[in-house]
Amino acid sequence: MKPVRVITGTALPLDRSDVDTDQIIPSDWLKRVERTGFGQGLFSEWREDPGFVLNDPRFAGARILVAGPNFGTGSSREHAVWAIQQYGFEAVISARFGDIFRNNAAKNGLVPVPVDGDAARSLLDAVAGAPSVEITVDVEQLIVSAPGAGVSTGFSLDSSVQHRLLEGLDDIGLTLAHTEAIGAFESARPAWMPSLA
Amino acid sequence: MGRTLSEKVWDRHVVHQAAGEPDLLYIDLHLVHEVTSPQAFDGLRASGRAVRRPDLTVATEDHNVPTDDIAWPIADPISRQQVEALRANCEEFGITLFPMGHPGQGIVHVIGPEMGLTQPGMTIVCGDSHTSTHGAFGALAFGIGTSEVEHVLATQTLPQQQPGTMSVTVEGALPAACTAKDVILAIIGRIGTGGGIGSVIEYRGPVIESLTMEGRMTVCNMSIEAGARAGLIAPDDTTFGYLQERPCAPTGAAWEAALDDWRSLCTDDDAAFDQEVVIDGSELAPHVSWGTNPAQVAPIDGAVPHPDSFAEASGRDAAARALDYMDLAPGTLFKEIPVDTVFIGSCTNSRIEDLRAAASVVEERRAHPGVRTYVVPGSAAVKAQAEAEGLHQVFKAAGFDWRAPGCSMCLAMNPDKLSAGERCASTSNRNFEGRQGKGGRTHLVSPAVAAATAVAGVFATPGDLA
Ligand code: SF4
């Protein structure tokens, strides 16, 4: 994973609540066995509507997705994160995220930016009204700001998640440093616990 | 200060703990299916890593499998490729796999419990959000993404932030017409799709205790629809009775040792939850969803709500959008809405008890002319049991389509799909737009309501049938 420190760019306003991962990447796309090629599938059903915001050329090239509350609920499919990233987004701002989505995002270096409901509303309105407004997500300072719209607000990120994003660390490598502790734990497990052996 | 059940299960699985880091949790059982695993196995290969505990890992083919013709190969080349990848990966990494046509095959969350692999006090993960189902046994079970699947394969552990605690207590006694599905739909309607975010929900109280294991699995299954990390229920004699003599359950002295341990798995009287919700079970009614998220539900005796009836602007917008997608007018009585398709299946409601409930409603009756009806058992074992009881004959005599086990129309990755505009009464768990097929309209209901609806042609409860 590449380190992520500061993301600055224009944004796409997705003014809907409860955007579930089935909408982000419909199930037809889940048959791929690769980790790439999902950008085309992002919101593929909603995109068939010419009025859908992703089809609005004024928002082309946006690097930040701003959405309504409860973004990324539902299915655990990590494909949703891959699709958002591969389309070109580097951060998602919402008042609340589905837990699994938030985990998956951070593991892939897509920054989940939880802000309070009022700030999310202001950002959505600002971007919808002026597509050229730039937003900066600062992972080091934990601040999201849109100077052109007069918005600046903090956001929270678990400190270990923040550290991993900033350093671009691989989780599995970190865990393997505890191999001895894992082995010790295993030898103390009750023998009656189920196994396929 | 006492601890809650989820905290107890958590604490006994911590391998490593340090300030400022997530806890490293040991995983007792890892369930794998074909959709969320191929990229994880690729990751292992790329980094030259092995599967640490193939003996604690089990795989099944469920999401892509056809439910009419289960002869290999699968006709759809892309589905076939995904299942082939799973087979090759399990072979390469030494993982037990239950392939299509095998007596152990089935939906991942149905086979774990029925084999006795799911036991109280365990940690269980799967690259699937409905892993919460296994919480019905007092296990801490949660869905994970593909990066985490790779992590568990490589290390049998997962770094996790400890979730918050939440209790949902269902007091009183359920009216006879109500099922476990109605309980969980009502709970989600009450707390919302985000109500459980960041938390493990423990379901408690007399109504929950009175449920069978099948019913408890239905409740825990849909915890994720309320946003929860997991759902669980303290194990009791109902749990132990279900487990005893299952193929992977302990026997003899080991069974006694396990029972001793399992009996200690409950929330202490002086433990406090971060959030507590109490619901009066005696006031519940059979429910149906009317919108495109699982909190958009109402009692089936009522009518489609008006968007203006929602206090918050976001709720009004969401309701208006949902009604537009669902092609429903506010005020329409549910019992006057015709359906095109009825789907009885999915990891929420495809176990033997669900099929018995549906069969008892359709016995001596016929499906309404023109209504397409699918009955899809959750596993090969459920199918065999149902056939031993003659349930398949009941369904067939009533004109229902009796099919082979898999996820089927729950998410339409196989040929079982709704077409655009089709309206479906479904026992599954998600009424998201397009979930059961592009443009399809899903209404979540219990097996009893689904069966009665198939007979009536409009939403109905068994009590409405002549
Ligand atoms: S039945 Fe549906 S919800 Fe359950 S595992 Fe299969 S696709 Fe997922």
Give residues with Cβ within 8 angstroms of A149, minimum separation 6: A122, A123, A126, A127, A130, A133
Window 160-189 of B, Cβ < 8 Å to A: 161, 163
Homologous superfamily of A6-169 in CATH?
Aconitase, domain 4 (3.20.19.10)
Burial class (CB in 10 A: 0-12, 13-18, 19+), B260: exposed
Region of residue A88 (left: phi > 0; alpha: psi -120 to 50; beta: else): left
Q: What is the CA B61 to chain-centroid distance, rounded?
A: 16
> Locate tokens 């176990």: which residue?
B351
* Alpha carbon distance B346, B408 (integer Å): 7
* Alpha carbon distance A23, A54 (integer Å): 13
* Alpha carbon distance A103, A101 (integer Å): 5
Give residues with Cβ within 8 angstroms of A29, minimum separation 6: A38, A41, A44, A79, A83
Q: What is the CA B170 to chain-centroid distance, rounded?
A: 19
Ligand 1 centroid to Cα of residue B412, in Å, is: 10
Q: Hey, where are the domains in chain A?
A: 6-169
Residue B194, chain A, CB below 8 Å: the answer is yes
Whether the CB of B411 sits within 6 Å of ligand 1: yes
pTM: 0.96
Give residues with Cβ within 8 angstroms of B282, minimum separation 6: B171, B172, B173, B174, B175
Residue B197, chain A, CB below 8 Å: the answer is yes
Q: What is the ipTM of this complex?
A: 0.94
Cα-flanking dihedrals φ and ψ of residue A135, to 5°? -115, 140
Whether the CB of B407 sits within 6 Å of ligand 1: yes
- Interface contacts A/B by beta carbons within 8 Å: 194
- Which of B38, B127, B413 lies nearest to residue A33, judging by beta carbons? B38
Give residues with Cβ within 8 angstroms of B44, minimum separation 6: B50, B51, B93, B150, B153, B154
Residue B252, chain A, CB below 8 Å: the answer is no
User: A195 and B56 in contact by Cβ < 8 A?
Assistant: yes
> Locate tokens 């002295």: which residue?
B253
* pLDDT, one tens digit for every residue, chain B (466 residues): 899 999 999 999 999 999 989 999 999 999 999 999 999 999 999 999 999 999 999 999 999 999 998 888 999 999 999 999 999 999 999 999 999 999 999 999 999 999 999 999 999 999 999 999 999 999 999 999 999 999 999 999 999 999 999 999 999 999 999 999 999 999 999 999 999 999 999 999 999 999 999 999 999 999 999 999 999 999 999 999 999 999 999 999 999 999 999 999 999 999 999 999 999 999 999 999 999 999 999 999 999 999 999 988 888 999 999 999 999 999 999 999 999 999 999 999 999 999 999 999 999 999 999 999 999 999 999 999 999 999 999 999 999 999 999 999 999 999 999 999 999 999 999 999 999 999 999 999 999 999 999 999 999 999 999 8
Are B408 and B414 spatial neighbours (Cβ–Cβ below 8 Å)? yes
- Enter the DSSP assignment of A45: T
* Alpha carbon distance B449, B446 (integer Å): 5
Contacts 24+ apart (CB under 8 A), B417-424: B418/B340, B418/B341, B418/B442, B421/B327, B422/B340, B422/B341, B423/B337, B423/B338, B423/B339, B423/B340, B423/B341, B424/B339, B424/B340, B424/B341, B424/B342, B424/B343
Choose from B10, B14, B15 for mutation: most chain A CBs within 10 A: B15
Q: Give the closest residue to B410 by CA, choosing from B190, B143, B129.
A: B129
Whether the CB of B347 sits within 6 Å of ligand 1: yes
Give residues with Cβ within 8 angstroms of A174, minimum separation 6: B159
CA-B378 nearest atom, ligand 1: 1
| Count of Cβ atoms closer than 10 Å to residue B330 Cβ | 15
Token pair of A26, please?
């419909």
